[in-house]
């Protein structure tokens, strides 16, 4: 159970947006929204291809939405059978998480009473990444002929488009194509469709019809009594990786048609099955949590790039052009743990994206007068920052509002260094340093070296004028999160230098010379000694989020929200309601407690969780998981469960924020999905992995009777079986040495093979 997400509601426009996100299919190269075949741009159909961005005029740069090759409409007596406008007797739409197949079945009733069923299955092939394969069937309960229009719709949904120009429908042999070019960099793109009919005899004829932006096959007078089925093989090719996208896409879809739908599906399903074999988490006693957690992992897997290390996962995944298709810290802090612990090669790819965009980060640092690498707040293909200085529109004046996301969220460079280090300690893969990681870490540390100031009166280094995770408080001084993370970057920098020197001495010498880094290494070591870390107030144990935070207005969240004059008014920015109060957007100190778990006592965690929880608006999908993680650790299992479910269901319920100011930010929330995995594994299951080893302190909700999951730790696959009575760890692959493990704060040793079983008293 728990594998199939089924929607049977009658469709309303709001459902269509939600299901478009929720039922998305993808293979890390293409993402296709969970819309119906008869839909067009009004219903937000989208085919997003990884790493292809475009900018029109002075609008925002964003991903390109390719022509929609999955387009099919059935016409009965001149009327399109459309789920939104037709009479729908039954409708079901589903996503099989196990196989990543989208399916729909709709029973229409026509004006004359005849009932026609449309059924379709599709998947973005994990074996052939350019392909979306579809099976499409139409059946009537009486004798009946329909026209079927299938083809490629180049009239696409855009937020800041149109991004495609020279759109050209082409017919050649049995393949139809739409090719076009992007506006900014004139990248050629092509979408092609090959088609196979199961019962070709039922076809009385096929016309090819081209319009300005569209190409269709018009299958005329198809007899659908007893059913009519065909297969669409849609291929997508872009000039970033192909010298002739049109020809390549034609060839690819023809080859797929030759393989045939069933074999393609089998190969695709097999690959997904292997993935699930590695990562599935089985929860007994809680079907909804089971579904939500698998749903979260599915969404991460559907969009993770495996074909290249030059792209990463955007904040809204592949669900559209929202947030400019940009990569934020979401990836490093909230998505990477899943990949690092389960699919380290995918994590490695995602990390090396930051190496491929290092020059963009250098350019940004230089632009602001700093040295090293100041990573983009919103990173696209080049690493240059897509974030604008005016990122929100004031709902009261309709004017652009100056925000400091781009300028002041300097923690991004430290987040990246943190993720590299976590990857290294979890996998033991030192080659990441040789292959780009060291350069990323060195340049990030160097950026902070040039950003930090010395306070001569207090004899300490301080980090001034930054914005932490809580974006409602911009331009603050000594943000606890940032200061802690920058110190960590400095530590990592020193350790990576040592590691590189030991393991790859030539690379070390090369980098020291090329980067002229030796003097800076000394400075970094000195700065680290005197870098100020805000202390907790001795009386309350509360750590101030930044200098002066605790003297801001201490207003209840409810009161603050009652002050709103407009439902979408932005709480941060220049005059935002939250900026002058202690109300925060998202976990900031509490996230610090999680990231630096070993540096804070349980008492400190408990006090700060209590303090900040009531002051957090959770205006970001990144917030809930931190509160879940710390709640689990301090023994508040109910809260941990509540926040786990909040993050795990964000795209199931579709209750996430859709507007900030006047800006549409709907879409999927892969960081929330990653947060669900973290909350489940690190939080409720209490599995902590650090460079010092592993600890397990389960905090299972009362109704969870058992959890089974597997992780990789330094190359060894471990299977955990947790109940309220025991913890069992089985080594699925042999290790070189025994592994010390702390279980419920008692020390044990996991032998190189076999199982360690510890009862919980």
Q: Which of the residues 536 through 595 are near a copy of itself (CB under 8 A)?
A: 563, 565, 573-577, 579-580
How far apart CA 240 and CA 235 sit, in angstroms, is 15
CB of 355 vs a copy of itself, minimal distance in Å: 24
Under 8 Å between Cβ of 150 and 71: yes
Q: Is 132 helix (H, G, I), strand (E, B) or coil?
A: strand
CB of 519 vs a copy of itself, minimal distance in Å: 11
Q: Which of the residues 376 through 435 are near a copy of itself (CB under 8 A)?
A: 389-390, 394, 396-397, 399, 401-402
Q: Which of the residues 201 through 220 are near a copy of itself (CB under 8 A)?
A: none
CB of 150 vs a copy of itself, minimal distance in Å: 50
Confirm or reject binding of residue 523 to a copy of itself (CB under 8 A). yes
When the beta carbons of 191 and 577 are compared against a copy of itself, the nearer one is: 577
Q: Which of the residues 480 through 509 are near a copy of itself (CB under 8 A)?
A: none
Contacts of 169 by beta carbon, 8 Å cutoff, 6+ apart: 152, 154, 176, 177, 178, 210, 211, 213, 214, 215
Confirm or reject binding of residue 452 to a copy of itself (CB under 8 A). yes
CB of 456 vs a copy of itself, minimal distance in Å: 6
Closest CA to 300 of 280, 322, 323, 324: 280
CB atoms within 10 A of CB 332: 28
Helix (H) or strand (E) segment spanning residue 384: none
Binding range to a copy of itself, per CB under 8 A, among 303-311, 459-467, 615-623, 673-681: 459-467
Confirm or reject binding of residue 746 to a copy of itself (CB under 8 A). no
Confirm or reject binding of residue 75 to a copy of itself (CB under 8 A). no
When the beta carbons of 69 and 576 are compared against a copy of itself, the nearer one is: 576
Q: Is 561 exposed, middle or buried (0-12, 13-18, 19+ CB in 10 A)?
A: middle
DSSP-H helix ranges across 304-410 = 329, 336-342, 344-356, 358-367, 405-408
Confirm or reject binding of residue 449 to a copy of itself (CB under 8 A). yes
When the beta carbons of 333 and 445 are compared against a copy of itself, the nearer one is: 445
How far apart CA 267 and CA 285 sit, in angstroms, is 32
Helix (H) or strand (E) segment spanning residue 172: strand 164-172
Q: Is 327 helix (H, G, I), strand (E, B) or coil?
A: strand
Total site size for a copy of itself, rule CB under 8 A: 35
CB of 525 vs a copy of itself, minimal distance in Å: 13
When the beta carbons of 307 and 371 are compared against a copy of itself, the nearer one is: 371
The answer for 461, left when phi > 0, alpha when psi is -120 to 50, beta otherwise, is beta
Q: Select the residue interacting with a copy of itself from 78, 201, 205, 456 (CB under 8 A).
A: 456
Q: Is 743 helix (H, G, I), strand (E, B) or coil?
A: strand
Q: Select the residue interacting with a copy of itself from 58, 112, 173, 457 (CB under 8 A).
A: 457
Q: Select the residue interacting with a copy of itself from 450, 604, 697, 723 (CB under 8 A).
A: 450
Q: Select the residue interacting with a copy of itself from 464, 561, 719, 760 (CB under 8 A).
A: 464
CB of 500 vs a copy of itself, minimal distance in Å: 24
Among residues 462, 471, 474, 569, the one annotated as catalytic is 471
Backbone angles phi, psi at 680, to 5 degrees: -70, -50
Confirm or reject binding of residue 477 to a copy of itself (CB under 8 A). yes
Its sign, for the CA torsion 634, 635, 636, 642, is positive
How far apart CA 644 and CA 652 sit, in angstroms, is 13
CB of 399 vs a copy of itself, minimal distance in Å: 7
Confirm or reject binding of residue 525 to a copy of itself (CB under 8 A). no
Closest CA to 380 of 320, 440, 311: 311
Q: Select the residue interacting with a copy of itself from 105, 115, 363, 371 (CB under 8 A).
A: 371
Q: Which residues pair with 234 in a beta bridge?
A: 132, 193
Confirm or reject binding of residue 243 to a copy of itself (CB under 8 A). no
CB of 455 vs a copy of itself, minimal distance in Å: 6
When the beta carbons of 400 and 428 are compared against a copy of itself, the nearer one is: 400
When the beta carbons of 580 and 601 are compared against a copy of itself, the nearer one is: 580
How far apart CA 276 and CA 710 sit, in angstroms, is 11
Catalytic residue list contains 471:
yes
Q: Which residues pair with 740 in a beta bridge?
A: 749
How far apart CA 439 and CA 379 sit, in angstroms, is 18
CB of 532 vs a copy of itself, minimal distance in Å: 12
Q: Select the residue interacting with a copy of itself from 273, 455, 540, 733 (CB under 8 A).
A: 455
**x/- track of binding to a copy of itself for residues 312-351 (CB under 8 A):** ----------------------------------------
CB of 475 vs a copy of itself, minimal distance in Å: 7
How far apart CA 471 and CA 451 sit, in angstroms, is 20
Under 8 Å between Cβ of 474 and 403: yes
Confirm or reject binding of residue 459 to a copy of itself (CB under 8 A). no
CA-based R_g, the chain, Å? 27
> Do the bridges between strand 693-696 and strand 706-713 make them parallel or antiparallel, or are there none, so unpaired?
unpaired
Task: Using CB under 8 A, list all residues that contact a copy of itself.
Answer: 370-371, 389-390, 394, 396-397, 399, 401-402, 449-450, 452-457, 461-462, 464-465, 475, 477, 523, 527, 563, 565, 573-577, 579-580
Residues with catalytic roles: 471
């Amino acid at each position: 159970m728990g594998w199939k997400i089924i929607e049977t509601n009658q469709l309303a426009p709001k459902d269509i947006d939600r299901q478009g996100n929720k039922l998305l299919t993808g293979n890390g190269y293409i993402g296709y929204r969970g819309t119906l075949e008869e839909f067009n741009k009004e219903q937000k159909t989208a085919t997003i291809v990884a790493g292809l961005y475009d900018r029109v005029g002075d609008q925002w740069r964003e991903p390109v939405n390719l022509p929609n090759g999955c387009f099919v409409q059935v016409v009965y007596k001149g009327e399109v059978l459309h789920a939104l406008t037709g009479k729908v007797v039954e409708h079901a739409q589903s996503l099989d998480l196990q196989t990543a197949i989208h399916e729909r079945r709709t029973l229409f009733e026509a004006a004359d009473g005849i009932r026609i069923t449309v059924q379709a299955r599709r998947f973005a092939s994990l074996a052939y990444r350019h392909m979306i394969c579809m099976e499409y069937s139409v059946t009537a309960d009486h004798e009946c002929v329909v026209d079927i229009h299938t083809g490629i719709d180049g009239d696409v949904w855009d937020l800041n488009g149109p991004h495609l120009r020279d759109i050209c429908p082409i017919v050649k042999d049995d393949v139809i194509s739409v090719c076009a070019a992007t506006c900014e960099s004139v990248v050629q793109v092509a979408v092609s469709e090959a088609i196979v009919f199961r019962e070709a005899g039922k076809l009385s004829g096929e016309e090819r019809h081209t319009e300005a932006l569209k190409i269709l096959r018009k299958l005329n007078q198809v007899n659908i009594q007893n059913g009519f089925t065909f297969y669409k093989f849609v291929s997508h090719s872009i000039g970033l990786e192909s010298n002739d996208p049109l020809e390549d896409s034609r060839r690819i879809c023809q080859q797929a048609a030759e393989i045939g739908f069933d074999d393609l599906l089998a190969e695709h399903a097999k690959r997904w099955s292997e993935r699930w074999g590695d990562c599935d988490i089985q929860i007994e006693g809680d079907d909804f949590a089971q579904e939500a957690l698998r749903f979260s992992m599915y969404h991460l897997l559907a969009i993770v790039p495996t074909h290249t290390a030059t792209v990463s996962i955007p904040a809204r995944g592949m669900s559209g052009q929202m947030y400019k298709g940009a990569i934020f810290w979401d990836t490093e802090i909230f998505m990477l743990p899943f990949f690092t612990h389960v699919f380290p090669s995918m994590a490695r790819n995602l990390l090396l994206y930051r190496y491929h965009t290092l020059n963009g980060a250098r350019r940004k640092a230089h632009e602001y007068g700093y040295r090293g690498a100041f990573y983009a707040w919103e990173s696209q293909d080049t690493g240059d920052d897509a974030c604008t200085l005016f990122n929100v529109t004031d709902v009261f004046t309709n004017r652009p509002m100056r925000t400091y996301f781009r300028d002041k969220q300097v923690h991004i460079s430290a987040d990246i260094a943190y993720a590299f280090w976590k990857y290294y300690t979890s996998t033991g893969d030192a080659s990441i340093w040789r292959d780009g990681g060291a350069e990323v870490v060195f340049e990030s540390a160097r950026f902070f070296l040039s950003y930090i100031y010395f306070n001569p009166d207090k004899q300490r280094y301080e980090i001034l004028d930054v914005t932490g995770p809580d974006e409602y408080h911009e331009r603050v001084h000594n943000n606890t999160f940032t200061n802690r993370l920058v110190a960590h970057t400095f530590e990592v920098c020193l350790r990576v230098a040592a590691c590189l020197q030991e393991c790859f001495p030539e690379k070390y010498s090369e980098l020291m010379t090329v980067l002229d880094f030796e003097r800076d290494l000394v400075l970094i070591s000195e700065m680290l000694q005197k870098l100020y870390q805000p202390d907790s107030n001795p009386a309350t144990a509360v750590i101030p989020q930044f200098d002066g935070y605790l003297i801001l207005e201490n207003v209840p969240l409810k009161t603050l929200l009652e002050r709103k004059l407009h439902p979408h008014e932005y709480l941060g920015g220049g005059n935002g309601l939250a900026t002058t109060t202690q109300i925060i957007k998202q976990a900031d100190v509490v996230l610090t407690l999680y990231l630096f778990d070993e540096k804070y006592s349980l008492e400190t965690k408990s006090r700060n969780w209590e303090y900040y929880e009531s002051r957090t608006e959770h205006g970001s999908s990144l917030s809930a998981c931190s509160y879940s993680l710390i709640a689990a650790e301090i023994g508040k299992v109910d809260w941990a469960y509540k926040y786990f479910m909040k993050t795990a269901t964000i795209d199931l319920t579709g209750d996430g924020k859709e507007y900030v100011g006047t800006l549409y930010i709907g879409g999927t929330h892969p960081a929330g999905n990653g947060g669900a995995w973290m909350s489940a594994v690190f939080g409720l299951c209490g599995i902590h992995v650090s460079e010092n080893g592993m600890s397990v302190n389960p905090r299972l909700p009362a109704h969870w009777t058992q959890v089974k999951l597997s992780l990789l730790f330094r190359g060894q696959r471990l299977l955990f079986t947790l109940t309220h009575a025991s913890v069992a760890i089985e080594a699925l692959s042999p290790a070189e040495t025994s592994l010390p493990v702390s279980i419920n704060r008692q020390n044990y040793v996991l032998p190189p093979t076999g199982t360690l079983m510890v009862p919980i008293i």
